[in-house]
C-alpha cells in the first residue's frame, strides 16, 4: 500500500510539473496588463451564445454514448447526467478520475460492467483523436502551420485509426486466440489475463462490429466537435479576433490534443499555451491570443464542472462510497 501511495503521489507531482512548465511557456512573453485589458474589454454579451453551443455539444456527446453503449445502451436521460459528472470528475480529480466515477455510476444505476465502460472510453478517445487530428491537418490548407503542428496532427489521426483497427481485431476474439496458442512462451497467468480482458472489454468495442453504429458514432463525434468549435468562434468574436470558423477549429483541435499531455486537473498549462501558439500562426497579437485562451478555458471548465458537481450531489446518493472507491484505486 505505501508503494502504491508513493507511485500515485509521484504521478501527481509529475503532472503538476508539466502544468507549471507549460504555464511558464505561456506567461513568459506576455504583458500581463495588456492581457488583463483584453479580458476586461471583451464583449461578454456573446458568452451566453457560446455556452449554449457548448451545452448542445455536451448533449450530442450523450447521444454518442448511447451509440457507443449499443446494444442495450442506457437511456440518454441517464447518460447525460453521468456525462456531466464524468467531465466534472476529470476536471477536479487527478489522472482523469472522472472515468472511474463513470464506470461506477453506470454499474450501479444501469448494470453496465466497468470493463465495458473502459472499452467504450477507449473507443471514444480514438474517435476524438481521429477527428481532432483531421482538424489540425486541415489547418495546413489555411496557412503554413509548420511541420510540428502538421506532423502531430497526422501522427495522432493515424495512431487513432490504427487503434480502432486493433480494437476491431479484439472484437473477433484475438486475445483469446493468442492465449490458446500452446507454443507461445506465455506464463499461465498471462493467458488467463488475456482471456479475461478479451471477454470483458470486447463489449466496450461492440460499436466496431456494426458499420451503421460506427458511422453514427463518427457523425456524432464530428457534430459534437463542430458545435464546440462554433463556441470557440463565438468567443473569438467577443475578443475581436476576426478569424474564420476553420481557423478557430484548428486552434481548438490543437489545444484539445494538448490535453493528451499528462498535466494537472483541467489541462491547465498545455491548453493555454498551445491555443496561444496556434493563434499566433494566424497573426493574432500575443496578448490578445493569451487573453482569449485564458477566457476560453475558464468557460469550458467552470460552468460544466459546477453543473457536474450539482448533478453528482443530487443524483448520486452514495457519494462518499464512490469517492472512497476512487481514492482506493
Torsion sign, CA atoms 109, 114, 119, 124? positive
Cell 508539466, residue? 18
Give a yes or no: residue 3 inside a domain.
no
Question: Look-up: residue for cell 493515424?
Answer: 158
User: Is 13 inside any structural domain?
Assistant: no
Domain assignment of residue 4, yes or no: no
In a domain, residue 6? The reply is no
Q: How far apart are CA 184 and CA 173, in angstroms?
A: 17
Output the pLDDT for position 317: 65
The domain in which residue 225 lies consists of 19-328
Kindly state whether residue 302 falls inside one of the protein's structural domains.
yes
Confirm if 229 and 128 have CB atoms less than 8 A apart: no
Q: Can you list the residues of the chain whose pLDDT is less than 50?
A: 1, 327
- The per-residue pLDDT for range 27-40, each reduced to its tens digit, is 998 999 999 999 99
Angle of helix 270-280 relative to helix 286-315, nearest 10 degrees, comes to 140
Does residue 94 form part of some domain? yes
What local confidence, expressed as pLDDT, does residue 176 receive?
63
User: Does residue 58 belong to any structural domain of this protein?
Assistant: yes
* DSSP conformation class of 139: G
Question: pLDDT at position 1, please?
Answer: 46
CB contact set of 223 (below 8 Å; sequence gap of 6+): 60
The number of distinct structural domains making up the chain is 1
Domain membership of residue 91 (yes or no) is yes
Amino acid at each position: 500500500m505505501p508503494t502504491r501511495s508513493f507511485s500515485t503521489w509521484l504521478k501527481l507531482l509529475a503532472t503538476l510539473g508539466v502544468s507549471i512548465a507549460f504555464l511558464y511557456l505561456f506567461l513568459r512573453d506576455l504583458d500581463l496588463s495588456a492581457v488583463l485589458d483584453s479580458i476586461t474589454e471583451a464583449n461578454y454579451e456573446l458568452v451566453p451564445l457560446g455556452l449554449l453551443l457548448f451545452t448542445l455539444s455536451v448533449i450530442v456527446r450523450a447521444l454518442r454514448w448511447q451509440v457507443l453503449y449499443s446494444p442495450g445502451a442506457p437511456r440518454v436521460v441517464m447518460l447525460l447526467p453521468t456525462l456531466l459528472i464524468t467531465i466534472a470528475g476529470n476536471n477536479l480529480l487527478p489522472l482523469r478520475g472522472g472515468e472511474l466515477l463513470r464506470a461506477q455510476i453506470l454499474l450501479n444505476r444501469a448494470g453496465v460492467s466497468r470493463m465495458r465502460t473502459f472499452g467504450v472510453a477507449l473507443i471514444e478517445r480514438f474517435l476524438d483523436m481521429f477527428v481532432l487530428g483531421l482538424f489540425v491537418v486541415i489547418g495546413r490548407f489555411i496557412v503554413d502551420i509548420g511541420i510540428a503542428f502538421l506532423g502531430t496532427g497526422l501522427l495522432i489521426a493515424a495512431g487513432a485509426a490504427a487503434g480502432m483497427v486493433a480494437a476491431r481485431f479484439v472484437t473477433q476474439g484475438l486475445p483469446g486466440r493468442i492465449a490458446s496458442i500452446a507454443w507461445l512462451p506465455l506464463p499461465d497467468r498471462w493467458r488467463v489475463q488475456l482471456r479475461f480482458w478479451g471477454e470483458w472489454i470486447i463489449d466496450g468495442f461492440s460499436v466496431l462490429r456494426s458499420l451503421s453504429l460506427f458511422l453514427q458514432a463518427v457523425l456524432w463525434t464530428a457534430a459534437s466537435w463542430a458545435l464546440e468549435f462554433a463556441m470557440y468562434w463565438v468567443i473569438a468574436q467577443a475578443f475581436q479576433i476576426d478569424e474564420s470558423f476553420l481557423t478557430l477549429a484548428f486552434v481548438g483541435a490543437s489545444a484539445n490534443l494538448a490535453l493528451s499531455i499528462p498535466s494537472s486537473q483541467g489541462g491547465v498549462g498545455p491548453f493555454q499555451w498551445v491555443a496561444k501558439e496556434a493563434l499566433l500562426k494566424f497573426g493574432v497579437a500575443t496578448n490578445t491570443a493569451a487573453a482569449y485562451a485564458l477566457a476560453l478555458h475558464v468557460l469550458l471548465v467552470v460552468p460544466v464542472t459546477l453543473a457536474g458537481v450539482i448533478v453528482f450531489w443530487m443524483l448520486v446518493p452514495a457519494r462518499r462510497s464512490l469517492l472512497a472507491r476512487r481514492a482506493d484505486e
